[in-house]
Amino acid sequence: MMVRMALDSSTSYADAVATAVRAAAAYYADGSTHLGDDEYDALVRDIEAYEQEHPDQVLPDSPTGKVAGGAAVGDVPHTVPMLSLDNVFSPEELADWAAGLERRLGRPVAAWCVEPKLDGLAVAARYRAGRLAQLITRGDGLAGEDITHATGSVLGLPHTLAEPIDVELRGEVLLTQDQFETANTLRTAHGAVPFAHPRSGAAGTLRARDRAYRVELTFFAYDAIGLDPALDHSALLERIAGLGANTAATTAAHPARCATVEDVQQRVEEIAALRAALPFGIDGVVVKADTAVDQDQVGSGSRAPRWAVARKLAAVHKVTRLLGVEWNVGRTGVIAPRAVLDPVLIDGVTVTYATLHNPADITRRGLMLGDQVFVYRAGDVIPRVEAPLVDERTGDEQPIVFPEVCPRCGDTIDTSQQRWRCVRGRGCQAVASIRYAVGRDQLDIEGLGGSRAVQLVDAGLVADVADLFVLTREQLLALDRMGATSTDNLLAAIEAARSRPLGRVFCALGVRGTGRTMSRRVAAHFGSLAAIRAADAEAFAEVAGIGIEKARVIVAELAELGPVLDKLAARGVGVEETAPVRPAADTGERAGPLAGQSVVVTGAMTGPLADLSRNEMNELIERAGGKASSSVSKRTTLLVAGEKAGSKRAKAEELGIEILTPADFAQRVADHLPGA
């Protein structure tokens, strides 16, 4: 059974969603994500479990119910949606899933097909008159990315089929272990960074263009669109192989037709036992209702077919040596220990660092430098050190030395909580705090990049964000590389920042547990910085997405930020007040033309909206009473579709969601447009 850590607060849930979104976005961009499949799956399962218990806290960016976690992009529509698979993680869950499928059917499943779940990138290969015409990634399931340029490097994907037919083969492109090692030898020889693992190597290679070297990949077909729809799945695989495409039938983990669930479980165990010896990576075993009749009867959902499931395989523990402990200071002054490990390959991923959580965790586990330690990846956001192998100690191990002063600034450490913190808090990392505050989605102060922030802090001119608003022309001109023009431009940008919307000012404070979306909600709920400062935890808990635990953290953070907030108010920053947008007593909805609406914006905006950034569009939506989201789902009620709207528009049309042009949307929210 896969071990997972449950999400126990809205803060941990929001962090998990953010991690999953980042991981999916990285993987579907260039395959660079550090999360393994099992880690991502476990994270999403925890997110799903939390959302089932707290349906009122579901975040718009949540990856649940979305193909590829909602992160993939593409502009080539699929002929038929290219779905994901639901997952189970144990024999018991697989048996429950099979029983549920038979309840849907009202009878036993006629037969099952069991095959390996290949660990690569799902693609669709389109053939015209038997010739390969186009190769497309799965994308978001409705549209994918054209990667036809890569077809010459993919083995097992014939350029000409055995028959001159129109068909679309669907399958997985991956790097075998030999191909992975060859690829990294080539990359190193050309001065490139080696791939971290075969899966990300396949994703990156398929998207790469104009490399000075050629990396071979391998294709395995598992489905087809355009062949006889009455074929059972096992017969369909044989038909595909007869056309000349590669399938898993050529491997030791070949698909097998099973009569009973007991036979299915046995074949799953057989394939799992072959895992280490296979020449390619698998992250599970796929179980499907074999007959077309059974598949047609139960159909598919918006994300996955109901007649198939992936039985995911548990990740492995590995043993390596704890070489050291680094103490890193975060933006809010929290001092976090990180284990430095003798690099170890865990389920295809090289692990060099792992979390140690906090000093109390180190003490609780009894860790020492030089220990042989268990490192575990599955289910964690990042790898973690589990326990030392005490019996393997040689006597050369050394105690882990905890810092006596802040490793960043040398000041005192507050050790009263499990998470140690520099007593200077944000002041310890003033540069990081200022760089965050002046970002485009916060105060948007152009010309205040990292090096300039360092200059201002080192010169003693700025200790926090509020100090930016009393900088003088003379002070700036005295700095290196600050001429008259750059000085005047920076001062103008700072002056413009005084009138930023409340949501952006609040976001610039960097309060733990808040970000752009939550900051807009807080601003809309309270209407002024004074009201925000006066609010207690119970009042903050009324804001959508903030539970009482996160509310207490926010109140404590605001108390700590009191001097900064005083200075901001004195300098006219964030003082503008608006009418709070509270839930209407009768309807439970927010006031405004978008009350109760979940709105997604896609494509290039035109007309009155042309100059608005995506963040400014989200601010507009929330001023008008709606909730901004980044992905289309069944919860979406309105799509604003600009030029080149792509797959989001197609999905909205499929779901019957209202679609407006930028001009029509601008008319609907006219009273809330900037300057209205």
413 located within any domain? no
Higher per-residue pLDDT: 520 or 67: 520
Place of tokens 């017969």: 235
Q: Same domain, yes or no, for 545 and 641?
A: no
- Residue 466 included in any domain: yes
Return d(Cα 454, Cα 450) in angstroms, integer.
6
pLDDT on residue 588? 41
- Total tally of structural domains belonging to the chain: 6
**What tokens were used for 527?**
């209407």
Report residue 116 as tokens: 């390996």
- Write the pLDDT tens digit of every residue in 420-478: 988 888 778 788 888 888 888 889 898 887 788 888 988 889 888 999 999 999 999 99
Three-class DSSP labels, 388-442: ECHHHCCCCCEECCCCCCCCCCCCCEECCCCCCEECCHHHHHHHHHHHHHCCCCC
Do 89 and 207 lie in one domain? The reply is yes
pLDDT 10s digits, 603-616? 889 988 988 888 78
Residues 607 and 510 in one domain: no
| 269 in the same domain as 367 | no
Does residue 254 sit in the same domain as residue 361?
Answer: no
Q: Supply the range of the domain harboring residue 386.
A: 318-399
In a domain, 467, yes or no: yes
Residue 579 lies in a domain: no
pLDDT given for residue 4 in this prediction: 43
First to last CA, the chain: 58
Asked if residue 191 and residue 300 are part of one domain, the reply reads yes
Same domain for 344 and 216: no
The residues, any chain, with a CB within 8 Å of residue 33's CB and separated by 6 or more, are 22, 23, 24, 26, 27, 40, 200
For position 539, which CATH number holds?
1.10.150.20
For residues 620-647, give the mean pLDDT: 84
Closest CA to 31 of 284, 217, 310, 287: 217
Residue 348: pLDDT band (50, 70, 90) is low
What is the rounded distance in angstroms from the CA atom of residue 400 to the CA atom of residue 337? Answer: 11
Q: For position 26, what pLDDT does the model report?
A: 65
Residue 182 lies in a domain: yes
- pLDDT exceeds 90 at position 392: no
Between 671 and 233, the higher pLDDT residue: 233
* Boundary of a domain, candidates 243, 277, 312: 312
Q: 502 Cβ partners below 8 Å, 6+ apart?
A: 523, 527, 528, 529, 574, 576, 578
Same domain, yes or no: 530 and 666: no
Please indicate, yes or no, whether residues 128 and 39 belong to a single structural domain of this protein. Answer: no
Residue 582 lies in a domain: no
Q: Answer yes or no: is 301 within a domain.
A: yes
3-state SS class at 313: coil
**CATH number of the domain encompassing residue 301:** 3.30.470.30
In DSSP terms, 172 is beta-bridged to 122, 220
Verify that 246 and 170 share a domain, yes or no.
yes
Check if the beta carbon of residue 442 is closer than 8 Å to that of residue 504. yes
How much is the average pLDDT of 154-171? 97
Query: Which residue out of 66, 117, 550, 648 is catalytically annotated?
Result: 117
623 or 647, which is more confident:
623
Residue 191 in any domain: the answer is yes
**pLDDT tens-place string over residues 519-574:** 888 988 898 898 999 999 888 988 877 878 788 888 988 998 899 999 999 998 88
Q: Is 186 in contact with 248 (CB distance < 8 Å)?
A: no
One domain, residues 356 and 475: no
Predicted confidence (pLDDT) per residue in 14-62, tens digit: 888 888 887 777 666 554 454 555 567 778 888 888 888 888 888 888 8
Q: What is the pTM of this model?
A: 0.48
Tokens of 75: 């502009």
* 117 classed as catalytic: yes
Same domain, yes or no: 322 and 295: no
